[in-house]
Structure formats: structure tokens, C-alpha cells
């Protein structure tokens, strides 16, 4: 029996600006997420990861951006044919945890009031119900003495505690899909491990899918079932995490993997990818990664499509089957 995808995105394009000043940030992004699946969306800053997330959340300003394509979550379209937000978005089972909790939380309201507002707005609870559920959510995300923490202001909590509060607020929306936009960037490695374990366990307990936006392949390896590599607003590779990290099919994924520090590389210069991600709107003939690619050939000046490497894997590189990226990555 075929399981219907929870999220289906087809031909997603995002433009910023208007008329002659318009630039394109996303190019025909297609992706699916199955129920209960954790998918990693990886790439350097400027690759299009966060723009993809904000487009799905409906947080791009319609006065300065334009969305094309189709996105359906749990049978509900996220925007109409004109790219306008679905008027019934409040009922869409989608929530997001942002990268920096100190700027995402309102500093003049207590943690409890922000949680209760979400529950009363999104789930129609009365004040007493919202208070009891807020305490339960703070307890679920591992915050000790949740009743006392309800009265705390964001500045009175550590970075890790604030991020747990953000996760609790996201869970208050009762999402089937949680978008986590680099939720562990602002915390140390010990707290990072705790937050990753928390998100995984909550996803398991609630049958919740997660789109994990990150530049850290170590996080993807520990957390995700499947990964999608983005570069310059395009998907360049996707597949099961073990397969992609074990034998990357695109030189960009290989470069990201090679840049990971290893225990045996102490005192050695870390590998880097030369150059930088092109700014949105930059025109590159053929493969967009070609100017930075050590394996580029003349054929790479032609348009590149995603090429199937197996039943579950694709890569946007004409040399994927020819080169041993695994050997290079080691």
C-alpha cells in the first residue's frame, strides 16, 4: 500500500523585488516529506534553505516577493494559483522553530503568556485549559519546574532553555510537520545534542515529520532519515542519509562532507570549497556549481537536470556515475 506524502512541493520558485530589479532566489524546487519522516535540508548560507522554509510558512512579504509553484500539506494547499497565502492557514498543521530564540521570543511577555496565546489562538482553548496545557508542554520539552518557568521572561532563561520554549510553542500548534531552522546554532555542543535528541523523541512520540534546516552534516547524520542538498536556490542532490553521506553523488555534497573536521586531522589545514555561493539573480551558464567545481568539464556548460542514481537517489551532475566522490570525501 502506497503511503501518501504529508508534504508535496512542486516547482517552487521565489522572486524578490519587482520589474527590472527582480531577482530569483529559488528555482523549481520539488520535494516530498512522508508522515513521521525527518528530512535534512543542507547547504551553505545563501543556498536557499531558509527561503524555502519561509515560503512554506507563508512568512515572505507579498509586497516584495512572488511565489510560484504548488505546495500541499496534509491535503491542504499552502497558497493559491496566484501565490497568495491560503486564507485557512491557521488550520494548517505546520509550525517552525527559528534559529535564534532570543529574537523570536517577545522580551516583554512571560514564557507562559506567549505559550497560552498560541494555544488560545490556534486551538481555541480557554484560559484555564491553555495554562494547564502550557505547563504540560514545558514539561514535555524537558524544562524543570514548569509552573515556575511559566512566570519567567526570555532574558531570565539560558539559550538552551529558550530554544526548548520555542519548541514548546511550536508543539502548541499541534503540527504534523515541524520546520526546524538551524535550531542548535546558538547553543554549545552539549545542549545541541540534548535538543537533537529532544526533537527526535518528540517526532517519534507524536508521529510528527520534521524538516531540519542546517549546514551541519553531523547533525544530519545523527538526526535525519533523508537529506536534500541545496545550492544557489536549486536542489543538487537528495536521497537516504546513509547513501548520500557514504557515497555523495554531487561534488558540492562531497565538498561539504570533506570540510568536516575529523579526529585524525588535528594540526592540519581543513578542506574548503573555493569561492562562494553566487548571489541571487546571478546567471551561470550550465551547472550553477561549475565555477567552484574541481571536476568541471566542457559538458558542464549545458543545462543540468537531476539524474537518478538509484530508486531513492538523484543528483544534478553529469559525472555522478563516473567519479568516485566517496574516495575523495575520505
Residue at grid coordinates 574548503: 272
Percent of the chain's residues with pLDDT above 70: 95
- Quote the radius of gyration of the chain (alpha carbons, Å): 21
Decide: helix, strand or coil at residue 178.
strand
Predicted structure pTM score: 0.91
Selected residue with higher pLDDT from 284 and 238: 238
Task: Indicate whether 14 pLDDT > 50.
Answer: yes
- Average pLDDT for 95-108: 89
| pLDDT value for 327 | 40
DSSP conformational letter for 276: -
Q: All domains of the chain, ordered by start, with CATH?
A: 7-88+216-260+271-329 (3.40.50.300)
Contact 5, 34 (CB under 8 A): yes
| pLDDT value for 90 | 65
H-state helical runs in the chain: 49-57, 101-104, 111-123, 127-140, 146-149, 159-172, 189-206, 217-223, 241-246, 251-258, 325-329
Kind of pairing between the strands at 23-33 and 7-16: antiparallel
Task: Report pLDDT digits (tens) over 131-185.
Answer: 999 999 999 999 999 999 999 999 999 989 999 999 999 999 999 999 999 988 7
- Cα–Cα distance between 206 and 208 in angstroms, integer? 5
- Cα–Cα distance between 281 and 266 in angstroms, integer? 39
CA angle 118, 119, 120 (to 5 degrees): 95
Task: Report pLDDT digits (tens) over 15-69.
Answer: 999 877 899 999 999 999 999 999 999 999 999 999 999 999 999 998 899 999 9
Amino acid at each position: 500500500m502506497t503511503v501518501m506524502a504529508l508534504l508535496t512541493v512542486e516547482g517552487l520558485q521565489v522572486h524578490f523585488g519587482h520589474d527590472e530589479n527582480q531577482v530569483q532566489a529559488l528555482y523549481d524546487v520539488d520535494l516530498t516529506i512522508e508522515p513521521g519522516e525527518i528530512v535534512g535540508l543542507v547547504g551553505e548560507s545563501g543556498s536557499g534553505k531558509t527561503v524555502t522554509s519561509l515560503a512554506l510558512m507563508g512568512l515572505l512579504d507579498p509586497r516584495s516577493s512572488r511565489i510560484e509553484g504548488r505546495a500541499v500539506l496534509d491535503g491542504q494547499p499552502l497558497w493559491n494559483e496566484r501565490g497568495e497565502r491560503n486564507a485557512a492557514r491557521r488550520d494548517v498543521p505546520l509550525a517552525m522553530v527559528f534559529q535564534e530564540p532570543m529574537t523570536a521570543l517577545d522580551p516583554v511577555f512571560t514564557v507562559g503568556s506567549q505559550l497560552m496565546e498560541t494555544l488560545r489562538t490556534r486551538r481555541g482553548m480557554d484560559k484555564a485549559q491553555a495554562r494547564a496545557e502550557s505547563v504540560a508542554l514545558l514539561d514535555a520539552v524537558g524544562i524543570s519546574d514548569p509552573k515556575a518557568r511559566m512566570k519567567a521572561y526570555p532574558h531570565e532563561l539560558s539559550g538552551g532553555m529558550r530554544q526548548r520554549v520555542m519548541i514548546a510553542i511550536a508543539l502548541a500548534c499541534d503540527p504534523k510537520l515541524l520546520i526546524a531552522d538551524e535550531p542548535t546554532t546558538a547553543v554549545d555542543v552539549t545542549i545541541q545534542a540534548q535538543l537533537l535528541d529532544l526533537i527526535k523523541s518528540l517526532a517519534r512520540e507524536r508521529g510528527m515529520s520534521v524538516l531540519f534546516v542546517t549546514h551541519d552534516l553531523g547533525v544530519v547524520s545523527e538526526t535525519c532519515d533523508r537529506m536534500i542538498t541545496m545550492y544557489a536556490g536549486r536542489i543538487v542532490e537528495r536521497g537516504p542519509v546513509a547513501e548520500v553521506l557514504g557515497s555523495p553523488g554531487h561534488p558540492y555534497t562531497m565538498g561539504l562532507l570533506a570540510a568536516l573536521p575529523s579526529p585524525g586531522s588535528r594540526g592540519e589545514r581543513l578542506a574548503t570549497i573555493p569561492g562562494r555561493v553566487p548571489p541571487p539573480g546571478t546567471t551561470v551558464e550550465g551547472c550553477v556549481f561549475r565555477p567552484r567545481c574541481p571536476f568541471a568539464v566542457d559538458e558542464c556548460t549545458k543545462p543540468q537536470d537531476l539524474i537518478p542514481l538509484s530508486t531513492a537517489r538523484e543528483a544534478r551532475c553529469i559525472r555522478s556515475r563516473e567519479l568516485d566522490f566517496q574516495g575523495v570525501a575520505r
